[in-house]
Amino acid sequence: MSKNTRREFLAKFGVTVGALTVGRNLMESSPLDRYLGSEAQAAAVKQLPLDGIDFRYAPASWQSTYCFPDDPFKSLVGKYGELLYGHPGTGADEKVFPHIVSVTLQGKDPLQYIDQKLESPSIPIIMTKLDGGDVVMQLTSFASNDSGEGRVDNLIVEIMPKESQRVQCTPEIIIKSTAMFVLNVEGDFTRVNLDTTDGKLFMAVDSTVEYQLIDGVHHFRLKTGTVSIDEPLKYFVRFPQEGQPYNKIEDGLEEQEDLLEDARKFWQSWEPTSGKVEWKLQPEYQNFIVAAARNILEAREIKDGKKIFQVGPTVYRGLWVVDGYFLLEAAQYLGYAKEAQEGLESIWARQNEKGLITGGAGEAHWKDTPVAVCALIRQAELSQNWDYFNEMYPDAHKAMMALKKLRDDSLNDGSSNSKYKLLPRGFGDSGIGGIREEYTNTIWTLIALRAMDDIAKRKSLSRRVDIRDFYGELRQDFFKSTTTEYRDSQNGFSYLPMLMKSDPKWSETDLLKQPKPQAAQIYLSQAIYPGLLFTKGSKIVGGHVDLMRSIVKEDIPIETGWMSNNGLWPYNAAVLAQTYLYLGYKDLARQTFIGFLNHASPLYAWREEQSLQDAPVFDFIGDMPHNWASAECIRYLRHMMILEDEKNIRLFEGIGLPELNAGKTMELISSPTRWGRISVSLEPIDSKTWKTKFKREDFDEKKYSQLDYIIMPRKLAGVFYFNGTKGVYANKNGDQALVRTDKHTWECEWKSL
């Protein structure tokens, strides 16, 4: 795929026990009702047990970070223990690293992968095992930051025989690099400098080294040794990251265990959450929460004195606006309120004199502006502090009026967007490359206008009429346009594609060159939730769900982004899973979310896009760890427990038998919502009883919109029945329990028959 289409530029229980039936006076009939009737449900969805989280769809190759939080040196290790150095960052090819360091054995066949793992999800000490025939090599990668020597990457090389015999081995460090190197051997130690004017130290090894350049690849042959069960061979290799001279890191060559223990202690003291926020979920989920938080903090960076949440360590080493909305929301869910505010301010610092927000995807990615407005509102809601919003409201108004001017100025450009009076042709992204006649920018503008009009009305803000009128016009024109833009699927449903019928690509005779109907549908998922733009029974929602269900492979929708042939976009599935949660389909949501989890590497990180397992050739696009994926992991698991809709807090929306089977307490402490901080738990009392404790605090009733009810299912996982509350009154409404909001602390019980 050419660069101009790339985003930076441009079970215990084997059957289902019953779907949640929603009280019709609160939730409208949904497009999936026909799928989820009592007889058809088992065929429609699977209640995957949590022990089905096994990384079965992990990419064929991956990379992981092992640096520190906010570390300017984004250390990466690949699947085979190779160290990846020098990526130039945004705009460069994600597959190209100037220096790739690997370890092999001279005179033996190439080492084969056995496994790779973290010491724990919270400790990025990464151990890679490779098969060397009659020996096993283990590579241990970790970062150190000793006050006396500064930031260094470290690699421990251990070689052990498979059986009791003694084996002679000569390890080699292989560096693929166009750079040249100079060796200096001093006794039992060797330093390797870059052959440049400054002679910067590249690595130091606790071994003598012989050097050869073979076919442009650098071979550093270490001292030969004999391994036995009792005496494995061990070497220590160090890579200074701050340009330190050899004498500053030399002593550390003899202190590998102390350095390793220091790194371990740092991470053991690290917490994935901050402030009053705490998470406690099933171990399978908790591991992902911890690792996702760590991935995000390792990619985070301090710029202009502010901690900025970045999408990734290489090609997305920055804060994209759309990604940023969800990263900042996840940061709030983890308790990083101050840092989220800093990230928000960094987004708004990008506003130009026209009023538009321009991010890494370019000016025609018009949606960056409304997404920034939505982020401004959402961060005020979660922080319960509207000071920054009030300060920025004139700029937010200017931003929305700039979008209106864009629309008005393009009304005679001859495009379908002009004919329909929508936002002008723009960069759709997510599988829609170039400047095209598309819907995604208009959809996000509608999401922002809806949210901003609601806030302006509630707070009696000036110039609200401008927002209200633009919203009314654009909404009416959008829905009018859809009547002619629906397409019929051969599977018997209609759907709204994000690329309009007038686009010439639809006329391609080669089917592989035609647009994928599912391209960029991620924005329609977001418009349903959290955008709340469409009613649940609408034709748009029904078509979107039907389309997504028709393209499932490897448990998630495929070909939804740039890899339109035998490819998939893992975290698109996590976004969709939250849409399913909002629509009330917990089993379908879980199936899709676990499919997303199973596309992570065994080190709990995701690539942006990757090939299907049965694709003839493995390929990938984008950064890794990709932290929009990490953010969506956090967001889904929060919404599984606490989900906000327009006027209600819905508890345990994603809890089913797979979550309860472990018999473990699930708890979120001080999780921010637009109606204050929520602490809620689900605790097993005995084999037939679960108990919930609820608390809401830190809110100002003058600052939030109306909260109608706390809603819970009357049948938890279809097995445990709501058995009443203590400390608050609750109504029964169909399959829901509606808890009044006048009491802020209460308990309830669930009983099985």
Q: Which domain holds residue 730?
A: 648-752
Would you say residue 86 lies in a domain?
yes
Kindly state the tokens that stand for 747: 């308990």
3 state SS of 150: strand
Q: Does any domain span residue 225?
A: yes
Give the pLDDT of residue 31. 41
Residue 51: pLDDT over 90? no
3-state secondary structure of 731: strand
pLDDT bin (cut points 50, 70, 90) of residue 319 is: confident
Structure tokens at 140: 């241990």
> Does the pLDDT of residue 413 top 90, yes or no?
yes
DSSP state of 357: B
Q: What CATH code is carried by the domain that includes residue 670?
A: 2.60.40
- Could you tell me if residue 302 is inside a domain? no
For the chain, the farthest-separated pair of C-alpha atoms sits apart, in whole angstroms, at 84
Mean pLDDT of 188-217: 94
Residue 151 in 3-state DSSP? strand
Closest CA to 442 of 467, 484, 477: 477
Is pLDDT at 497 greater than 60 in this prediction? yes
Neighbours of 215 (CB within 10 A): 5
Beta strand pairing call for 745-752 and 720-726 = antiparallel
101-143 pLDDT per residue, tens: 999 999 888 999 999 999 999 999 999 999 999 999 999 999 9
Residue with tokens 């949501």: 589
**What confidence category does residue 659 fall into, taking pLDDT thresholds of 50, 70 and 90?**
very high
Residue 91: predicted pLDDT: 85
How many domains, the chain? 2
pLDDT of residue 83: 98
Q: Three-state DSSP class for 303?
A: strand
* CATH number of domain containing 75: 2.70.98
56-103 confidence digits (pLDDT tens): 999 999 999 999 999 999 999 999 999 999 999 988 899 999 999 999
Please report which confidence band the pLDDT of residue 33 belongs to, taking 50, 70 and 90 as the band edges: very low
Mean pLDDT for the stretch of residues 682-711 = 93
Quote the pLDDT of residue 279.
Answer: 98
Q: Average of pLDDT values for 189-204?
A: 93
- pLDDT (0 to 100) of residue 29: 38
Distance between CA atoms of residues 231 and 233, nearest Å:
7
Q: Are 173 and 220 in contact (CB under 8 A)?
A: yes
- 122 close to 350: Cβ distance less than 8 angstroms: no
The answer to the question of residue 41 being in a domain is no
Euclidean distance between the first and the last CA atom of the chain, given in angstroms as a whole number: 57
Domain end (from 269, 287, 310):
269
Instruction: Look at residue 157 and tell me if it is in a domain.
Output: yes
Nearest residue to 532 (alpha-carbon basis) of 640, 638, 401, 374 = 374
pLDDT in tens, 620-653: 999 999 999 999 999 999 999 999 999 999 999 9
Average pLDDT over residues 253-271: 97
Report the distance separating Cα 417 and Cα 751, nearest Å: 55
Q: How far apart are CA 242 and CA 46, in angstroms?
A: 51
pTM of the model: 0.93
CB 200 within 8 A of CB 207: no
- Boundary residue ending a domain (241, 269, 297): 269
The per-residue pLDDT for range 91-112, each reduced to its tens digit, is 889 999 999 999 999 988 899 9
Judge whether 577 and 635 are in contact, CB under 8 Å: no
CB 103 within 8 A of CB 172: yes
Lowest mean pLDDT of 8-17, 310-319, 691-700, name the range: 8-17
223-258: burial string, b at 16+ Cβ within 10 Å, e else? bebebeeeebbbbbbbbbbeebebebbbebbeebee
β partners of residue 173: 103, 220
Q: What percent of the chain has pLDDT over 90?
A: 88
pLDDT tens digits along 341-388: 999 999 999 999 999 999 888 899 999 999 999 999 999 999 999 999
Domain assignment present for 455: no
398 within 8 A of 409, measured Cβ to Cβ:
no
Other CB atoms within 10 Å distance of the CB of residue 636:
27
Residue 15 pLDDT grade (very low, low, confident, very high; cuts 50, 70, 90):
very low
Q: Do residues 480 and 420 make contact, with C-beta atoms less than 8 angstroms apart? A: yes
Residue 376: count of CB within 10 angstroms of its CB: 25
Residue 132 domain flag: yes
Distance CA 432, CA 429 (A): 5
Instruction: For the chain, give the number of residues.
Output: 753
CA atoms within 13 A on the CB side of 49: 9
DSSP state letter for 460: T
With 90 as the cut, is the pLDDT of residue 45 above it?
no
Nearest to 482 by CA among 433, 525, 543: 543
Gyration radius of the chain's alpha carbons: 27
Rounded CA separation 436/365 (Å): 11
Contacts of 246 (CB under 8 A, 6+ apart): 191, 201, 204
Boundary of a domain, candidates 269, 287, 312:
269
Structural contact between residues 124 and 210, judged by C-beta atoms closer than 8 angstroms = no
In a domain, 661, yes or no: yes
What DSSP state is assigned to residue 7?
A: T
Query: 214: buried, middle or exposed (CB in 10 Å: 19+, 13-18, 0-12)?
Result: exposed
218 Cβ neighbours under 8 A, 6+ residues apart: 174, 175, 176, 177, 181, 211, 212
Using CA atoms, how far apart are residues 344 and 412, in angstroms rounded to an integer? 35
**Residue of 528, 435, 444, 543 lying closest to 497 (CA atoms):** 543
Q: 366 with 439: CB under 8 angstroms?
A: no
Nearest in space to 158 (alpha carbons), one of 179, 181, 180, 127: 127
Q: Work out the pLDDT band at 299, boundaries 50, 70, 90.
A: very high
Q: By C-alpha distance, which of 86, 112, 114, 85 is closest to 101?
A: 85
Residue 290's CB is within 10 A of a number of other CB atoms, namely: 20
| CA dist., res. 576 & res. 525, Å (int) | 6
Kindly tell me the burial class for residue 116, based on how many C-beta atoms sit within 10 Å of its own C-beta (0-12, 13-18, 19 or more).
buried
- What single-letter DSSP state applies at residue 529? T
Average per-residue pLDDT for the chain: 92
pLDDT at 47: 56
Cα–Cα distance between 338 and 320 in angstroms, integer? 19
**Confidence category of residue 21, pLDDT binned at 50, 70, 90:** very low
Residue 72 corresponds to which tokens in the numbers above? 């300017």
Q: What burial letters (b/e) apply to 705-741, b meaning 16+ CB within 10 Å? A: eebebbbbbbbbbbbbebeebeebebeebebbbbbeb
In whole angstroms, give the CA distance from residue 494 to residue 509.
Answer: 22
User: What is the DSSP track for 691-721?
Assistant: EEEEEEES--TTTS----EEEEESEETTTEE
Q: Say whether pLDDT at 42 is over 60.
A: no
Check: CB of residue 548 under 8 Å from CB of residue 523: no
Share of the chain above pLDDT 70, in %: 94
Amino acid at 393: Y
